[in-house]
Chain A
Amino acid sequence: MNPATIYSKNPDFVQRDVAGECILVPIRRTLTDAKSIFVLNDTGAALWNRIDGTRPIHEIASEFAEEYDVAAEQLSQDFETLLADLLSIHAIEEVAVAHDPS
């Protein structure tokens, strides 16, 4: 995971909040995923809600770490897994790699 990467959401995935669960529904699904929805855990939902196509992932992670009491290493692992999952179903896409101001 490159922490400078910026991701945007695929508009063909609609977020639904159902009974306390954050669900992604692919609205242009194919026959193979016609019966699939994707249920995000709390970390996944928080990440999804912060992906906006403008902020690099390290900025989102910093904000997340300030808000929740979670170790940086654990957070990094969780984000890596979640981003891989979201990329694998094309719910997000990489839009750019931010320049490092340093």
Chain B
Amino acid sequence: MIRADKLPHLPERFPVACQWEITCRCNLRCVMCYTDCYNRPEFVRQELTTPEILRIMDELAEAGTLELCLTGGEPMARTDFFDIYEHAARNGFLVTVFTNGTLMTETHADRFAALPPHRIEISLHGATQETFERITQGKGSHDRCLNAVRLLLDRHIPLVLKTTAMTLNQNEVLAIKRYVASLGSVRYKLGEDMRPELDGGCGPFHYALSNQDLTVLNQQDDDLWAESCKQQSEDPPPCRSGMHRFHIDAYGRLQLCSGNRTRSYDLRAGSFREGFFEALPTFACQWKAPVVSEKIQPTVHHA
């Protein structure tokens, strides 16, 4: 018997890790959010129901998926969130939850503690209440977010805090990082990429930092600068989405990854196995090497 944190051997193509955007609902309106355009009742009504999610999740389990990331929107904004989360945890998925933390209560934290996740990642976009709430546009969200951090740390839940660097918080990133360091066991991630909204809107880019601003920011911290230098010194590896990882959106559409939704396979109408093994290999991705594998055909073009 081997103790491991991930599988030692995997076939070249196998659906081991799923990122599942279970809703575009959110209680906040972060200025750089790419899903908020679908945080409206007419779209929410089209999202997967609880039975649909559990049925698809069972198909993932049967196919061998082990790592499951529940994200949104704000996943905890779904009233059935813990039905979904606990079904996943009880069925042996290694569950990661991406959340803004602001809906977390003592009861929720206790439920996480009873069936602990692999980790929880909370977005912390400002060190001060003013900056945090200018980004989230949610009054009181800063205090509620920090309260979630405390609730989860008190229960020894593995935690990651993360920030998207942008014009509104560039002067607070180092303070956020110091705060995270003061928490001891909590990891920190800084993201630099903005993405267009799912409906094609460019709102998030209004808050993007220039390359020069990013350089100035990263140069102020040894860790950030080392990571920045490392990334700039290496050619990005060919994209491997669809090989071991895949994405499901709030409407049950299977896609190569969150950033490439050009083509989808409808899991409401077909099986996960057919979607992963037959449909995904035909989906195009401009970031893939010309021939990454004979098991996926990234150069296929489609209308």
Contacts and interface: CB of A to CB of B under 8 A. Distances in A.
B7 A18 contact: yes
B1 A82 contact: yes
B94 A18 contact: no
Contacts of B300: none
A15 B64 CA distance: 11
A16 B119 contact: no
A28 B86 CA distance: 11
A38 B1 contact: yes
Interface string B1-20: 11111111111001010000
B158 interface: yes
Contacts, number: 77
A16 B66 contact: yes
B1 A23 contact: no
Contact of A27 (B4, B61, B64, B90): B90
A38 B115 CA distance: 18
Interface stretch (A1-9, A29-37, A53-61): A29-37
Nearest to B116: A29
A46 B247 CA distance: 33
A38 B6 CA distance: 9
Contact of B7 (A21, A31, A35, A36): A21
A37 B61 contact: no
B7 A19 contact: yes
A85 interface: yes
B91 interface: yes
A32 to B, nearest CB: 9
A40 interface: yes
B4 A36 contact: yes
A34 B118 contact: yes
A51 interface: no
A19 B64 contact: yes
B89 interface: yes
B8 A36 contact: no
Contacts of B10: 19
A41 B1 contact: yes
The interface residues of chain A, by DSSP majority, are classed as mixed
A70 to B, nearest CB: 18
Interface in B49-94: 61, 64-66, 89-94
A14 interface: yes
A34 B160 CA distance: 14
A27 B3 CA distance: 15
A16 B92 contact: yes
Nearest to B2: A39
Nearest to B6: A37
Given A18-B16, A82-B1, A35 B118 contact: yes
A36 B156 contact: no
Among B2, B92, B94, B158, find the residue whose CB has the most chain A CB atoms closer than 10 A: B92
Contacts of B116: 28-30, 34
A75 interface: no
Given A15-B92, A18-B64, A23-B7, A28 B1 contact: no
B114 interface: yes
Contacts of A52: none
A66 to B, nearest CB: 24
Interface pairs A-B: 5 shortest CB-CB? A14-B92, A25-B92, A35-B5, A85-B1, A18-B64
9 contacts: A14-B91, A15-B92, A27-B89, A31-B185, A34-B119, A36-B3, A37-B66, A37-B94, A41-B1
